[in-house]
Amino acid sequence: MEERIEEFITYLGQVRGLSDNTVLSYRRDLLRFKNYLNAELEISDFKEVTPTHLEDYFCMLEQEKKAATVSRHMCSVRALYRYLVKMYLVKEDITERLHMPGVQRDMPEVLTVEEAKALVEQPSGAGPRQLRDRAILELMYATGVKVSELVALKVSDVNLRLGFLHCREGGKERVIPFGNCARAALLQYLDEGREALLTDERCEILFVNYTGAAMTRQGVWKLIRRYGELAGIQKEVNPHSLRHAFAAHLIENGADLQSVQEMMGHADMAATQIYAAARRPGKREAYSRNHPRK
């Protein structure tokens, strides 16, 4: 059984390209599951596991762990069984009928789709700063990037032809798709706005301020807060607002939890579960089908 788990872990890292932390989390959860099967049930093959065995295992975990941790273990086991079915190592996915335990975590106040639309459409002029601000807001809502990731972006990190953003922070990397609204705003900013703000043509930073230097986190906070006020939004509006809206609106429209987890860069599934739970069609499919501004 451990051999199958290690094969799956290799698949997650080399084929799926998940981060080291995410892969280690899966491995810990699945080895715990395997040890339970071996020690408590004397089961040495995943083919021998039944839905009742799974229910007993997760009932046991619920007595020991918080709901968020149990949900993470459940996601790990589900992912393993999808892999085993795909590789014809088991006949059926016996995890399909498992129910996620309730996660006791506060849901952040999320902008409605209408509020998010009003916010990102506030910069509507043709000046370089307005083009930049529109591109910033569209991209943040389209990808859920953190403000620290946004200000570090280089022009080369954006693939306009394929509609992907290459995001790096703290030694971690992820690729996030974005839709036509963000692409159009970025194209207009790059064609008509960025050059007017630059003071050094060698600058690689995507978003620059009026001095031609990289935007700061504080600068992005201020502009988002200002546009929130102009949009008449009564809720607190900041960079987190767009990140939360990105995840919540995708899932509300049917995106699966694991795709959103990967796009958000969450190491722990529990961090994504505050938004909802769903099935997994794949990142690009999940994005193009479900983001309100595709």
pLDDT digits (tens, 9 = 90+) for 125-177: 999 999 999 999 999 999 999 888 999 999 999 999 999 999 887 677 889 99
pLDDT digits (tens, 9 = 90+) for 51-71: 888 887 887 787 777 877 888
pLDDT for 230 equals 96
- List alpha helices for the chain, DSSP H: 2-14, 20-41, 51-64, 67-86, 113-120, 128-143, 147-152, 180-188, 194-197, 217-230, 239-252, 257-264, 269-272, 283-290
At 169, is the secondary structure helix, strand, or coil? Answer: strand
103 burial via Cβ count (<10 Å: 0-12, 13-18, 19+): buried
pLDDT for 178 equals 95
pLDDT for 69 equals 84
pLDDT digits (tens, 9 = 90+) for 32-47: 999 989 887 889 899 9
